[in-house]
Structure 1
Amino acid sequence: MRNLGIELIGPGIQRIRFNTLLVLFALFTFYSVSGQQLESYIKVAEENNPEIQSFNLKYEIAEEKINEVNAYPDTEFGIGYFVSEPETRTGPQKLRLSVRQMLPWFGTITARENYAGSMADAEYVEIAVAKRQLALSVAQAYYRLYANEAKQKVLKENIELLETFHELALNSLEVGSTSAVDVLRLQMRQNDLAQQKETLEQEFNAEEVLFNNLLNREENLSVEVVDSLFIPESQTDERERVAEVHPELLKFDKLYESVVEAEKLNLKDASPKLGFGVDYVSVAERTDMALVDNGKDILMPMVSVSIPIFNSKYKSVTRQNELRQKELQAQKNQRLNLLQTSLEKAVSIRNSARVAANTFIENLEQAKDAEEILIRSYETGTIDFNDVLEIQELQLKFQTGLVEAVKNYYMQAAVINYLSK
């Protein structure tokens, strides 16, 4: 690669030699550190993001739910005092104590654990979705910052180039080969570019605040972006497809599984329930006669069965679960179609960005050739500064367009990575 050089043509006269790749400000030079830099920002965002922290807590709550359902119904204790003491053969009853324990049908608690576990799995997938969406937002904000900074560099180089032409115009003005109007037009063009650069600086500061907010850190921290990016030459012709295990789709699978587990639990709830208990009755001794077992307390073990004879409730739940499964399958298919459409759109925009970048490169090469012709014409004193401004404006348009194309390429590549990986 040739470097920007200044060659002396004559006393006080300089020829500007630009290399085409240099004009692109090394946009097509790749530093491997760029990917690492972006990944480090994404890692910080994942560690600090309140939404992901919230999803982690929801997942922990869902996991703790498993311990909640892994328990038998509450044991019932009762105590009763006979105000009017019923007489029995062995004496009057004074006090009754009772204890009851209902037991679910065999396998019901396991079914509850499985259902709670499936709901926890669904919550865990939400964490994966949130992390992917956050990574996409951070990546796209990063590439916007890169494009802004690259455009500032383009403007800075163009301002310096105009300053060189301004000096040439002053020299021409001294020998009477140009007018003061040309000098003023070059100055006004410089002022306009300086104003554009200042606007970009303000936009960069605002975008930097947004980026820091994504990372949930102090807004005034500076963000370092890669100096240059390039669009790879190689491109696969294989059609991109949404990943089968994409979290946004996997979420529906996990919810579907939770409905399956809910139906298993519903069938267990429709089964009989067993109850065990014991009653203890305190009996006072009779004083009016002597009896065998006089005043003997009563101990009465009991077994009960709860049978859902009127089970229309459970049949309704079964029907609801069937409909819920169909609903989730339809929602998954709809989401898959939307994701695939978004993926196709992203691939199309990325490919268009590649084509646009190649076009801008070709136009820049031709613009540089025209610029060199104008510079050489200075030797004969026939330089037209109107043509200079026109060529410079075209170069700026192509350079900023190239930066925008590179930004679009990487922003859409981030979308494709989100959908297909």
Structure 2
Amino acid sequence: MIKDIYKNSNLIFTKFILVGVSLCFNANAQELDSLKIEAAEHNLELKAQYKSFEAQLEAVTQAKAWQDPNLSFGYFISPIETRVGPQIARFSLTQMLPWFGTYKARGNIASYRAEAEFEKFQDQKLKLFLKVAEKYYDISVLRFIAELELEQFKILEDLKSIVESNYENNKANMVDILRVELQIDKQLNVMQVLKQQDQVLVTQLNQLINRSLKTPILILNPQQILEQNKFIEIEAIHKNHPRLEAIRNLQESNHAEKDLAKKQALPQFGLGLDYAIIQNRNVMATDAGQDAIMPMLSVTLPVFGKKNKSRKKAAVLQGESLQFKLEHEQLQLESEIQVAKYKQNELLSLLGLYNKQLERLADILQLSEAALANAKMNIEEVLQLHEERLLYEKQRAKSLAEIQKNNETLNYLTSN
């Protein structure tokens, strides 16, 4: 029950941050796990959601609390004469008691609402993990592409040497050298742009973690991270996903509301005590001047039934609404999983295509560079082939990143 969470709410916050961060099998992937944990500990939006849960927990105590007793005092300006003396003042203490089980029903309503709030916190935590992973893979693919661009730069330098050698042997024109230099300048500009883009992504990831925006993100081997095999086979949603559990807890709260509506239609009891102060005036009686004590019992009469019928009807309608919401959320999760599975198959198909194209281009480039060295092929054609190879390499890298991000999405959609 929610009371166990209530007793250890601060400890629970740290505990459930760690739940959902799965252990990976290489050091680079573990870096992502540490980023997720750090984000869960410091992200302001997640902290706000947890505080909302703690605030809802306090409603449990409020719901189970008894009504405050009513104490009244009256002073008679003109004392009321009685047989034993004048009555000059009166105290009255009353405590109202609802029908049996009313406080329990109210406590159950607040408890289940608190549990629903906790499930929202769980869902927000999982969404935060997904956002961190997506930014992490965006940085990884950008740095992998930067490595590919650097490799392309070195290839262009080698091609320039070959063309210069051919020019010295009257096998090439100066325009061929200038064409290669033009590509080198273009390559340097591309590498500079990638560096600036990297800084933007690092800033965005640090913002999610809520730490200094200039904190470096260390990724030792981006290619290895992107090529790790973590393909997920999913058939259906998990029945205990936080998005579903939140609605189920609200349904339980609704059942308690129906029970409360029935109990509110029953009488309430009031226990009280009256104490009257009697002044002694030397009346010739054995009980002269003795104060009066009178126990009291009161009962409310719920004769106006419209409001009670309205409470019951509202609870029934709210229950129907929650059932529709649950069915819609189940369909929504199933739809999102099917879209992710379709995207996974599409990305794997594209990855296979890029791998085949790169294998063929590797053979073509080997032959073309040999032909260029023997002045049997134009430098422009060789540059075009290298540009095509780089394009496929970058498309392959982006597909790998999308596969990893899609896996993270599937992890979120099927979380328990």
TM-score normalised over the length of structure 2: 0.89
- Note if 1:119 corresponds to 2:113: yes
Q: Distance in 2 between matches of 1:393 and 1:377?
A: 18
Q: 1:184 aligns to what SS in structure 2?
A: helix
Q: 1:360 aligns to what SS in structure 2?
A: helix
Which deviates further from its counterpart, 75-84 or 307-316? 307-316
- Note if 1:273 corresponds to 2:268: yes
- Note if 1:46 corresponds to 2:40: yes
- Note if 1:256 corresponds to 2:251: yes
Residue-by-residue CA offset, 1:94-149 (whole Å, 9 max, x unaligned): 11111111112111112222222111111110111011100110011111111111
Q: Distance in 2 between matches of 1:282 and 1:205?
A: 83
In structure 2, the partner of 1:304 is 298
The offset of 1:165, in angstroms, is 0.2
Q: Distance in 2 between matches of 1:249 and 1:363?
A: 44
Look at both structures and tell me which one has the larger radius of gyration over its CA atoms: 1
- Pairing partner for 2:378 from 373, 380, 384: 384
The offset of 1:386, in angstroms, is 1.3
In structure 2, the partner of 1:373 is 367
- Alignment map for 1:7-406 (pairs within 5 Å): 32-225=26-219, 226-228=221-223, 229-231=225-227, 240-286=235-281, 290-406=284-400
Q: Distance in 2 between matches of 1:305 and 1:235?
A: 67
Aligned CA distance change for structure 1 residues 157 and 418 (closer, same or farther; 3 Å) = same
Aligned CA distance change for structure 1 residues 380 and 54 (closer, same or farther; 3 Å) = closer
In structure 1, the partner of 2:17 is none
Q: 2:78 aligns to what SS in structure 1?
A: coil
Residue-by-residue CA offset, 1:189-230 (whole Å, 9 max, x unaligned): 111122112111111100100000111111000012342235
Which deviates further from its counterpart, 411-420 or 221-230? 221-230
Question: Aligned residue pairs: how many?
Answer: 390
Aligned CA distance change for structure 1 residues 239 and 120 (closer, same or farther; 3 Å) = closer
The offset of 1:376, in angstroms, is 1.7
Q: Distance in 1 between matches of 2:281 and 2:229?
A: 107
What letter is aligned with 1:191? D
The offset of 1:372, in angstroms, is 0.8
Q: 1:401 aligns to what SS in structure 2?
A: helix
Percent identity between the two aligned chains: 27
What letter is aligned with 2:131? S
8 Å contact from structure 1 (residues 351, 409) kept in 2? no
Residue-by-residue CA offset, 1:293-351 (whole Å, 9 max, x unaligned): 22232211111111211122121111111111111111122222222222212211221
8 Å contact from structure 1 (residues 72, 104) kept in 2? no
Q: 1:84 aligns to what SS in structure 2?
A: strand
The offset of 1:54, in angstroms, is 1.6
Q: Distance in 2 between matches of 1:313 and 1:331?
A: 27
> 4+ residue stretches of structure 1 with deviation over 3 A?
229-236
In structure 2, the partner of 1:12 is none
What letter is aligned with 1:244? K
Q: Distance in 2 between matches of 1:351 and 1:224?
A: 30
Point out where structure 1 has 5 or more consecutive residues left out of the alignment. Answer: 1-29
Q: Distance in 2 between matches of 1:328 and 1:414?
A: 29
Point out where structure 2 has 5 or more consecutive residues left out of the alignment. Answer: 1-23
8 Å contact from structure 2 (residues 230, 407) kept in 1? no
What letter is aligned with 2:275? Y
TM-score normalised over the length of structure 1: 0.88
Aligned CA distance change for structure 1 residues 153 and 196 (closer, same or farther; 3 Å) = same
In structure 2, the partner of 1:18 is none
Q: 1:97 aligns to what SS in structure 2?
A: strand
8 Å contact from structure 2 (residues 69, 96) kept in 1? yes
8 Å contact from structure 2 (residues 268, 300) kept in 1? yes
8 Å contact from structure 1 (residues 357, 406) kept in 2? yes
RMSD: 1.9
